[in-house]
Amino acid sequence: MLKRKPCIIITFDTTADAIGMEVFCREKHLPGRLSELPAALHAGCGLCWKAPAQAEEEIIGAIEEEDLEWNEYYEMDL
């Protein structure tokens, strides 16, 4: 059985915004990856950025400072 881990899910309105997040996070060496939106959520383009929960402050701070377009973020055990 897989052990669920706490993570954050950041959603986007458009695929372009999601890909922009991926490029930004790779350049800044921020943790996480682009992923399909979990079935429990319904938002935007269907893509999300999934990252470990302990990276929440680092990631949210960085994307707000850069003024990237994003929709919502959620804390989940996945």
For residue 11, the cross-strand partners are 48
Higher pLDDT, 44 or 8: 8
Quote the pLDDT of residue 68: 95
What is the residue range of 59's domain? 6-77
Residue 43: inside a domain: yes
Q: pLDDT digits over 23-64, tens only?
A: 999 999 999 999 999 999 988 899 999 999 999 999 999 999
Is residue 27 within a helix (H) or strand (E), and if so which, with residue range?
helix 15-28
Is residue 46 one of the residues assigned to a domain? yes
pLDDT of residue 2: 81
Asked, for residue 73, whether it belongs to a domain, the answer is: yes
- With H, G, I as helix, E, B as strand and everything else as coil, classify residue 33: strand
Number of domains in the chain: 1
pLDDT of residue 43: 84
What is d(CA 40, CA 11) in angstroms, rounded to the nearest whole number?
A: 13
Instruction: Please say whether the beta carbons of 34 and 22 come within 8 A.
Output: yes
Residue linked to tokens 């994307």: 63
Domain of residue 72, CATH code: 3.30.70
pTM flag (> 0.85) = yes
